[in-house]
Homo-oligomer: A and B are copies of this chain.
Amino acid sequence: MSKELPTREANYSEWYNELVGKADLAEHSAVKGCMVIKPYGYAIWEKMQQALDKMFKETGHVNAYFPLFVPKSLFEAEEKNAEGFAKECAVVTHYRLKTDENNKGKLIVDPEAKLSEELVVRPTSEAIIWNTYKGWIQSYRDLPILINQWANVVRWEMRTRLFLRTAEFLWQEGHTAHATKEEAIEETEKMLNVYAHFAETFMAMPVIKGLKTPNERFAGADETYCIEAMMQDGKALQAGTSHFLGQNFAKAFDVKFANKEGKQDFVWATSWGVSTRLMGALIMSHSDDKGLVLPPKLAPFQVVIVPIYKGEEQLTQIDEVANKMKKAMEAKGISVKYDNRDTQRPGWKFAEYELKGVPVRIAIGARDLENGTVEVARRDTMEKETLQQADIENKVEHLLAQIQDNLYQKALNMRETRTYVADTYDEFKRILEETPGFVMAHWDGTSETEQRIKEETKATIRCIPLNNKQEAGKCILTGKPSAQRVVFAKAY
């Protein structure tokens, strides 16, 4: 298989698909719409999980686990939520297979093992969780409940793309219960900030924090907060959402508590989640025509050392130097792979680790042994320099921090360059056509206008930014008055 990728310019979509496969991140499975996350891809997801899990725990959350299945009667309890997900859910109707009498070695669904009530494979867990919380909450002393769950969910998608849109995906979903509206909103915003911090600090991916329009809200939420990132093709990607659920689920599942005054009230709720979709966002934020580019904080290994040698004796000498450097770097918390396999040539290894986005490559050859040097190459800029071996661990530590910063800055610059202001519908359409990106434009606040713009241009309102500048203007479509610009873009 050729390691060559199509260029982003030639075919961005094809570039993405090929990259996901060739960098060993994921592949399609025999199950329509479901993916296999391969070890290298999963190692990146584990890094994301660890960082997020730590942040959730630091903000007072604990993990738990709720059932994969939701009985249909619970699923339909919160009507908007049910309506939102009914069209895309996998349904278990039977609990047994039996031998096909007419077809040796084959199995058929046993009609006698039909469930009296169908089970929905969770597309999200509000229903099953709020049905459980009902038993846990009697008084204000039982609140808040701050629970997160790492799980798989299923939303039946007809058109799928690895990581970005799959029928089954992995995610975390936080579900919290509060005594007051204020506290629940505070929680919703707190977790949005956690997501934004994660995206910017770990993924090196700048995001805009904002509110979704009613059209784009989570089914069952009173308000949906989101973080939106820009991919290298100028399209937007929703990277995380945090929902203020009001008392909708408490009412649907009759979850009341006695407040300090002994009065009964419905409980206030939030939910928030990010998923393996972040893998897609990470790939499309930084990678280039040579392959993946990973921010050091999420790279399965941050440094690879490749020996360039002739004969056993030279290799033995290089091994010694390399292992010493590896140990010194590991003592500083840097993850290092030393690849001294004799089955592949250095050139092949260089290409392989470029494709896999390893942030720093160190090469050591015979001359380096003589001079006490190494060649250090950074993946983000492809720059190389020769450095003294002495103190390499501190130099590399510094370099990794530089790379992390540079990736963020580069992505931020791109977003700023490709964020436009449009005051007329013609201008709006021209920008979307010629230089796709984020378009800041006035909108009259109606669903009808939003819908018509979407139909005519494929651009949606990504969000109404938080702390948005208030500025009187006219809706680009209807000319009606507007108090602020919102972010429009074509989106994944």
A-B contact pairs, 14 of them (CB 8 A): A29-B67, A31-B71, A31-B128, A34-B68, A36-B64, A42-B62, A42-B65, A65-B170, A67-B168, A87-B96, A89-B95, A91-B96, A97-B120, A151-B152
In contact, A64 and B76 (Cβ under 8 angstroms): no
In contact, A94 and B93 (Cβ under 8 angstroms): yes
Give the distance to chain B from A239, nearest Cβ to Cβ, in Å. Answer: 20
A37-B65 contact given A95-B91, A128-B31, CB 8 Å threshold:
yes
In contact, B29 and A156 (Cβ under 8 angstroms): no
A189 CB-CB contact with B under 8 Å? no
Say whether chain A's binding surface is mostly helix, strand, loop, or mixed.
mixed
A121-B92 contact given A31-B69, A36-B132, A64-B37, CB 8 Å threshold:
yes
- Please, which residues of chain B bring their CB within 8 A of the CB of A86? 96-99, 107
A311 CB-CB contact with B under 8 Å? no
- Please measure, in the bound complex, the distance between the C-alpha atom of A36 and the C-alpha atom of B130, giving whole angstroms: 12
Residues 62-92 of chain A, each 1 if its beta carbon lies under 8 Å from chain B, else 0: 1111111111101110010010001111111
- Please, which residues of chain B bring their CB within 8 A of the CB of A63? 39, 42-43, 46
Give the distance to chain B from A113, nearest Cβ to Cβ, in Å. Answer: 8
In contact, B64 and A39 (Cβ under 8 angstroms): yes
Minimum CB distance partner of A26 in chain B: B65
Minimum CB distance partner of A107 in chain B: B76
Give the distance to chain B from A116, nearest Cβ to Cβ, in Å. Answer: 10
- Please, which residues of chain B bring their CB within 8 A of the CB of A91? 92-97, 109
**Besides A29-B67, A93-B93, 8 other CB < 8 A contacts?**
A31-B70, A34-B67, A37-B65, A65-B170, A69-B90, A92-B92, A93-B109, A151-B152
A38 CB-CB contact with B under 8 Å? yes
Minimum CB distance partner of A86 in chain B: B97
In contact, A107 and B93 (Cβ under 8 angstroms): no
Residue with the greatest number of chain B CB neighbours at <10 A, chosen from A27, A65, A66, A96: A65
A324 CB-CB contact with B under 8 Å? no
Residue with the greatest number of chain B CB neighbours at <10 A, chosen from A45, A64, A168: A64
A131 CB-CB contact with B under 8 Å? yes
In contact, A76 and B106 (Cβ under 8 angstroms): yes
- Please measure, in the bound complex, the distance between the C-alpha atom of A133 and the C-alpha atom of B263, giving whole angstroms: 60
B96, B106, B135: the one contacting A156 at CB < 8 Å is: B96
B35, B46, B90, B343: the one contacting A92 at CB < 8 Å is: B90
A395 CB-CB contact with B under 8 Å? no
A331 CB-CB contact with B under 8 Å? no
A119 CB-CB contact with B under 8 Å? yes
